[in-house]
Structure 1
């Protein structure tokens, strides 16, 4: 019984360490590095031309910088207000802003990519969104739409 308990504790501690490492990996990159990596992944998946790569790189860079500033603002808010949750109006404003940014990104990508590339990009984005939903909690809430 002791051996089983020790093995279980070791497994849990290793699992926790691995999760902490995964969380920290993204933040150690600069926005430029994140944009470059994202652009290269897109180039491989979508077979982008050199001109498309440059346009997508600029778009990814602006997105990465925006995400970085938003993340820093969230961290500052968390520490300054002792983790106070945003009000319903603030959450609404944040969601509206996020959706507006997604609409703008989609429009820019539609300008840059060909029809075939855009269709593949949308499939990639849907898969990425489903992957994120799976990591968050598993069950769908009442507020989420059915697919």
Structure 2
């Protein structure tokens, strides 16, 4: 009887240990995926084009053009980050000015991407894309924990 109860206690303790291991694995996996995307933007651009194709009913030419636009955007962002890291290593005192400059450049990259999307998509697709894009930016701000999210709209009439 003692052996059976001891065996049951050990069994329950081992279940708890396995449950905790799985939680930590998922977090590390997300970081690995993000690092992979930063090193090779092609899979990210392909996934984005596929997602837009299903949500916006795109033809093959539009899908390919969106993939190219996304690749161009990701490459520009990657280059901007590399320059930013290099500048921060050189002169950490000018960080505020550098950050403001980087934000301006990010906004320009984003504006260029929006302009390309406007050329690729028709009017109804672009309107639908803009709504989806704003929602994604809002969710991204929440994930990062920004308190003063500029994409937040007044929902008082809901």
TM-score (norm 1): 0.75
Larger Rg: 2
Q: How far apart are 1:145 and its partner, in Å?
A: 6.7
The equivalent residue for 1:54 is 64
1:1-147 matches, within 5 Å, as 11=20, 14-29=22-37, 30-73=40-83, 80=89, 84=92, 87-137=95-145, 140-141=147-148, 144=150, 146-147=152-153
Q: How far apart are 1:41 and its partner, in Å?
A: 0.9
Aligned partners of 2:28, 2:97: CA distance in 1, in Å? 32
Unaligned runs of 5+ in 1: none
Q: How far apart are 1:131 and its partner, in Å?
A: 1.2
The equivalent residue for 2:156 is none
Against the structure 1 CA distance between its residues 41 and 74, is the aligned structure 2 distance closer, same or farther, given a 3 Å change threshold?
Answer: same
Against the structure 1 CA distance between its residues 72 and 135, is the aligned structure 2 distance closer, same or farther, given a 3 Å change threshold?
Answer: same
Aligned residues: 138
Aligned partners of 1:76, 1:92: CA distance in 2, in Å? 16
Aligned partners of 1:75, 1:16: CA distance in 2, in Å? 29
Q: How far apart are 1:49 and its partner, in Å?
A: 1.2
